[in-house]
Structure 1
Amino acid sequence: MQQKYSIEEIISYFDIDQLNSMQQASLAAPADQDIILLSATGSGKTLAFLLPMLQTLDSTNKQTQALIIAPSRELAQQIETVFKRMRTGLKVTCCYGGHLRETEENNLIEPPAVLIGTPGRLADHIRRGNITLPGITTLILDEFDKSLEAGFHDELSFIISSLPSIKKRMLISATESVEIPDFVNLNEPLELNFLGDAAADSNKLAIQYVLSDEKDKVDTLFRLICHLGNRLTIVFCNHRDAVERTSALLLEKGIYNEFYHGSMEQRDRDSALSKFRNGTVSVLVTTDLAARGLDIPFIRYIIHYHLPATQEIYTHRNGRTARMEASGTAILLLGPEEKIPDYITETVQPIELPEKAVLPEKPKWTTFFIAAGKKDKVNKIDIVGFLSNRGQLKKEDIGLIDVKDFFSFVAIRKSKASHTLQLIRNEKIKNKKVKIEIAK
C-alpha cells in the first residue's frame, strides 16, 4: 500500500513554517500532468519538485520510480542532500562523473526509489544495464536549460528514449528563454511561472560597482575584500586560469581563500566547498560552475571580477546571495574600458574604497581531512565522539562536519587544531586507523 507523507512534518525538518506560493502551486498541480516550473534561483525549487514527486512514490515498490537529471555534480549532490533531509526512509542514489563508478554500481544492485544524476554518468549506467528502467514513471529535469547549454543534448535524448513508462515530466528552470526539444515528449504541460516574483524580491539584493584604475583589477579586488570584511563572498571569473591566478594573488596579499572550477579533482572540489561552508575561508574564487547548484546559506557578497557574458549568467551568479529571506549585495568590478552592462536596469551605487587597506580578521576555523566516510560506516556522531574523547575537544570547538563516501571534512577551532592533531594522529576511528591531516 502506498504510504502518504505528511507535508507539515517534512517542512518542519527544514525549519520553515509553510511553503511559499510557488511550492504550494507545484504541490497542487494535477498529479498526471506534465509541468514546467519557472522560478528564480534561491526560491526553493528543489522542495517544489521533490514534494509532489514524493506523493507518487510507493514504499512497497522495490524498483526505481523517479529519475532526476541535473546538469552538474554539485546540483545532483544538493538534491540528494535535500531528499535525505526529508527523512522518508526511501533509498536514494546519486550518480555523477568524478565519483567511483564501481561504488555507484554497487548502490544500484538494490534499485533506489529515487535516482539522481548527471546526464553523462546516467547514460553510461543505462548502456551498462545498471539501472532498472521499466519502473521509472516520474522524470524531473532540474535546470534543464543548463543541461542543453552544457552540450548534453545527445545524452538527454538517449536517456529519455530509454524510459518506457514515464507518466509525468517536470522541467525546472530559473529562466524561460530556452526552447524545449521534441525528444522530451512533453504532453500539454502546465506552466507555473513565478519569475515575476523575483522582481518583488529585488529590494533584498543591492547592486553596487567599484572602479579600477588598472586593467588588471587584482589590487582593486584586494582592497574591496578588505573593505567588505570577513563576510562570505564569492568572486566570479570567466576562465579557469583566471580563477587560479586571482586566488593565488589574493593569498599572497593575505586574503585566505579557496578556488573552485570544473577541472579540479572531486576531492579538491569537495574540500574547497567544505572550507567555504565551515568558515575556514570566507572568500571563494570560482567560475560560473558555482553559479548554480550551490546552496550555501548567508553568502553576503557576489563580486563580478569579470563581467558576466550574458544577462542569464548575471542572474544566476547573483542568485547565490539574497536567498529566501536573506539580503545580499552584488558588486561589479569595472576596469578602465568597462561599463555597466545595458541589461542591468536597477540603480547601481558606487563604492568608494578607502586609501589604506586593512586585512580582514583571520578565520577562526581550520579544516581536518579524515580518510573515512559513509562507506566505512563513519557518520557525524562518530566523528564528534572521536574528536571529543581522543582529541579532548569541547563541543563548541567542533564546527561543521561534511561526510562523503570515503572521506570527511570537519571544522576545528584554529587555536585547538595543532594540539588536537597531535593527540589523534595515531588513534583509531571505529577500530580502524585512518589518515587525518589538515585539509589541503
Structure 2
Amino acid sequence: MRKTSTSTQDILAALKIESLNEMQQAAQKAATEHDEVILLSATGTGKTLAYLLPLVNELKPVDHVTQALVIAPTRELALQIEQVFKSMKTGFKVTCCYGGHLRETEENNLMQAPALIIGTPGRLADHIRRENIKTGEIKMLVLDEFDKSLEFGFEEEMAFVTGSLPGLQKKILVSATPAIEIPPFLKMRKPVSINFLTDEKTDALTIQMARSDNQDKLESLFRLICQLGNRPTIVFCNFRESVERTSTYLKEKGIVNVFYHGALEQDERDAALCKFRNGTSNVLVTTDLASRGLDIKHIRYIVHYHLPATEEVFTHRNGRTARMEASGTAILLVGPDEDVPDFIEGEVEEIKIAEDAVLPEKPKWSTLHISAGKKNKINKVDIVGFLSQKGELKKEDIGLIEVKDFHSFVAVRKSKMSHTLHLIKNHRIKNQKVKIDIAR
C-alpha cells in the first residue's frame, strides 16, 4: 500500500500556494456537500485545483482500483490536468489517455489500475470498449470544459463513457461559458451551481469580422475554416451558383463539406442536412434557405461569405447558432471593396486569418443511405437491429438515425463502414429488399 496524502495543507505546500481563492473554497464546499455540482469560472482562475481537491479527498488508499475519471475535450487540457495532479504529490497513481500517441503505452499503464484516469472522450471510450479500464468502482466523474467536448462532436463518446459507470455517485461539470445546456445523458437531477463568472456578460452571440485581401474570397475562406478547426460551421452565400462553387473549392482543398440550396431535389437536401447533423461533415455551405427553420444543435460558427443584404437576413442567418443559450460566433468575411454593414450595431472584433493553413481533423462518421423508410414500415429500432445483427456493429458505432418517408440515413463510424457495408449488402430489412450504400 503506497503512502497517500489528501491534506489540503500538504497539497498547497506542494504546489507552493499559500491559500485557496474564493472560488476554490466555494467549489470544495459544494463538492463535499452535494453529489451534482456545476462550476462556472473564467479561464485561468484555478478551476482544475478547485475540482481536484474534493476529488482527492474522496479517494481511498486502495491499490489497483480506479475510483475517479476526468474527461477533457483536448489532449492539451488532459495533460495539463495530469500535470497539476502530479504536482499535488498525493501519492495516488494517475494515467492520462488521449489520441495521437500509442494506445499500447496507455494499455501498459492501465494494467495496474490507477486511482484517477484523465482523458479525452474518444480514447477513454476506446479503452472501455477494450476493457482496459475497469469502470465498476469509479465513483466520481468530472467533465472539464464539457461544453467544448459537445462542440467538438464528442457527445456520443461522452454518453457512452458516462453510461459505462454503474457505480457513479458524484458528478462535477466545469465550464468557462455562462450559458450552458446540460445534455440529457448526464442525468443531472438537482445540480448545485457555483457561478464565479463576472456579471459583465455579453450576448451568447459574438460578432467578428475577418478581412480578405482578394475580391474572390475563396482562399481566405479556406484558411479561415482551417483556423476555426473541425467545429460545426455554416457558410452563407447569396447565390446557388456561389454555393456550389464554394463547396467544390473547399472540397478540392481538403475540407469535408456539404452544400444545400433550393435547386436540389428533396432527397439531396435530406442527405446534405443529415450529414451535417450527424457529424459526417462539419461544414455546410448554403444559401439563405438554411437561415430559417433548421434545428441543428451545437452550431459553433456562422460565416457570412457574402455579406447579408439586410438586417433581417443577418439576424436569421445568425439565429442558427447561439441557440438554447449556447454560445456562438458570427464572422463577416469582408473583401477589399466591402465594409461592415451599417445595420450591425456595436463593436465588431476584427480577427486575423492565419497565412498558414492546417487542415482540420476529418470527421469520424460516414452516412449510410437505405432506400426504405416510414412508408415501408421501417423504423429506427429495425435499423439498429439490422446493423447490429447483420452488420456486426456495436451500439456506439451507430450514430444519428433519420427515417424519412421512403429512405433513411444512418451515421456509422467511418472506421467500420467498409466492413459493415460488405456484410449487409445482400441482406433484407424486415424481409424487404432494399438498396444500401454510402450516402452521396
Question: Which interval holds the TM-score relative to the shorter structure?
Answer: 0.5 to 0.7
Contact 1:207 1:346 (8 Å CA) reproduced: no
Identity %: 69
Deviation at 1:201, TM superposition (A): 9.0
Moved more, 345-354 or 258-267: 345-354
> Any idea what SS the aligned residue of 1:275 has?
helix
Aligned mates of 1:248, 1:355 — CA distance in 2? 21
The within-5 A match list for 1:116-155 is none
Residue 282 of structure 1 corresponds to 282
Residue 336 of structure 2 corresponds to 336
Moved more, 339-348 or 243-252: 339-348
Q: Deviations over 1:59-87 (max 9, x none)?
A: xxxxxxxxxxxxxxxxxxxxxxxxxxxxx
For structure 2, the 5+ residue unaligned runs are 1-199
The within-5 A match list for 1:418-437 is 418-437=418-437
Residue 389 of structure 1 corresponds to 389
Q: Considering only aligned residues, what root-mean-square deviation do their CA atoms show, in Å?
A: 1.1
Q: Deviations over 1:250-281 (max 9, x none)?
A: 00000000000001000000000000000000
Residue 205 of structure 2 corresponds to 205
The within-5 A match list for 1:105-254 is 203-254=203-254
Contact 1:373 1:404 (8 Å CA) reproduced: yes
Deviation at 1:291, TM superposition (A): 0.3
Aligned mates of 2:338, 2:271 — CA distance in 1? 34
Deviation at 1:342, TM superposition (A): 0.5
Q: Does 1:378 align with 2:375?
A: no
Q: Deviations over 1:379-406 (max 9, x none)?
A: 0000000000000000010000000000
Deviation at 1:347, TM superposition (A): 1.4
Residue 4 of structure 1 corresponds to none
Deviation at 1:346, TM superposition (A): 2.2
What amino acid does structure 1 have at the position aligned with 2:312? E
Deviation at 1:368, TM superposition (A): 0.4
Q: Deviations over 1:183-206 (max 9, x none)?
A: xxxxxxxxxxxxxxxxx9961000
Aligned mates of 2:214, 2:284 — CA distance in 1? 23
Aligned mates of 1:369, 1:233 — CA distance in 2? 23
Q: 1:201 to 1:372 in 2, by over 3 A?
A: farther
Aligned mates of 2:346, 2:366 — CA distance in 1? 39
Contact 1:236 1:285 (8 Å CA) reproduced: yes
For structure 1, the 5+ residue unaligned runs are 1-199
Deviation at 1:433, TM superposition (A): 1.4
Q: Does 1:412 align with 2:412?
A: yes
Q: Deviations over 1:306-359 (max 9, x none)?
A: 001100000000000001120000000000000001111121111112221000
Contact 1:204 1:326 (8 Å CA) reproduced: yes
Residue 257 of structure 1 corresponds to 257
Aligned mates of 1:356, 1:350 — CA distance in 2? 18
Residue 315 of structure 2 corresponds to 315
What amino acid does structure 1 have at the position aligned with 2:379? N
The within-5 A match list for 1:20-169 is none
TM-score (norm 2): 0.54
What amino acid does structure 1 have at the position aligned with 2:425? R
Q: Does 1:438 align with 2:433?
A: no
Residue 363 of structure 2 corresponds to 363
What amino acid does structure 2 have at the position aligned with 1:368? L
Residue 39 of structure 1 corresponds to none
Aligned mates of 2:427, 2:304 — CA distance in 1? 45
Aligned mates of 1:420, 1:309 — CA distance in 2? 47
Aligned mates of 2:408, 2:347 — CA distance in 1? 44
> Any idea what SS the aligned residue of 2:203 has?
helix
What amino acid does structure 1 have at the position aligned with 2:318? N
Instruction: Please say which structure displays the higher CA radius of gyration.
Output: 2
Q: Which runs of 4+ in 1 moved over 2 A?
A: none
